Structure 1
Amino acid sequence: MSADMFRVDIDQMRAMITKLQGAETAMRDAMHVMSVVSPDNVGTKKLDGACNEFQKKWKYGLGQIEKDIDATVKGLDEVLNMYAEVERALADLFKAQAAATEGKK
C-alpha cells in the first residue's frame, strides 16, 4: 500500500479526543444549569409543563450522547495506544536490524 493512500495524524486524533471531552463537559454543565433553574418557576402552568418535558427529553438525549462520546473516546484512546505500540515495535526492529548490520561489517 502506498504511503499516500493511508495516513494517520496522531495529533489530530488527540485533538478530536479533547474536543469530544470538551463537548461532553459543556453538555453536562448545560444540564446542570437547567436543573438549577426549575421549570416550575418559569411562568404559566402550560409553559412550566413544556419546559419540564423539554428538560426530561434533553436529559435522556444528552445521556445517550455522553455514552457515545465516552465509547468514541475510549476507542480512540485504544487506537492511539496501538499505534504507539506498533511504532515502538518498529523502532526496536530497526534498531536490532541496524545492530545486526553493524556486526557483520
Structure 2
Amino acid sequence: MGDHFKADTDQLGEFLKTLEGCVRDLDEARAALDHVRADQIGTKRLDEACDGFQERWKYGSEQTKKMIDAISEGVKSNKKGYEEVEKALEKAFNDMAQESTSGGKGAK
C-alpha cells in the first residue's frame, strides 16, 4: 500500500503559498472595486446594476476567502502531520540502524 501513497510536503507548502496569494489577490480586487462608485458609471439602470454587482461581489469574495482559509488550515495541519511522521520514521530507522551496527548494544 505504501507504494501507492506519497505526500510531498514541499508541494503542500507551495500549495499554501498559492492559496495565500489567492486571498491577497481577492482582497486587492475587492479594494480596487471599492473606489468605483455606481454614480460614476452612467445611466441609472447601469448604476443600479453596478451597485448590485458590488454587493454580490463583496459577499461572494468574503465567502470564497472563508473557504480558502479553511482549506489552508487543513493543508497546514496535514503538512505538519506528514512532517512529524517523516521525522518519527527517520528517527526509528536511525535507531534501528544504530542498534544493528552496535550488535544490540546501542545507546538508549
Normalising by structure 1, report the TM-score: 0.90
Residue 89 (structure 1) shift: 0.5
Q: How many residues are aligned here?
A: 104
Structure 1 residue 32 and structure 2 residue 31: aligned?
A: yes
Does residue 104 (structure 1) correspond to residue 96 (structure 2)? The answer is: no
Matched, 1:51 2:50: yes
Partner of 1:73: 72
- The residue that corresponds to 1:41 in the other structure is 40
Unaligned runs of 5+ in 1: none
| Deviation sequence 1:7-59 (CA, Å, 0-9, x none) | 22222222221111111111111110110111222111111111010010011
Seq. identity, %:
36
Structure 1 segments, 4+ long, off by >6 Å, are none
Unaligned runs of 5+ residues in structure 2 are none
8 Å CA contact 2:9–2:83 kept in 1: the answer is no
Could you tell me how far apart the structure 2 residues matched to 1:99 and 1:7 are?
A: 26
Amino acid at match of 1:37: V
Task: Normalising by structure 2, report the TM-score.
Answer: 0.88
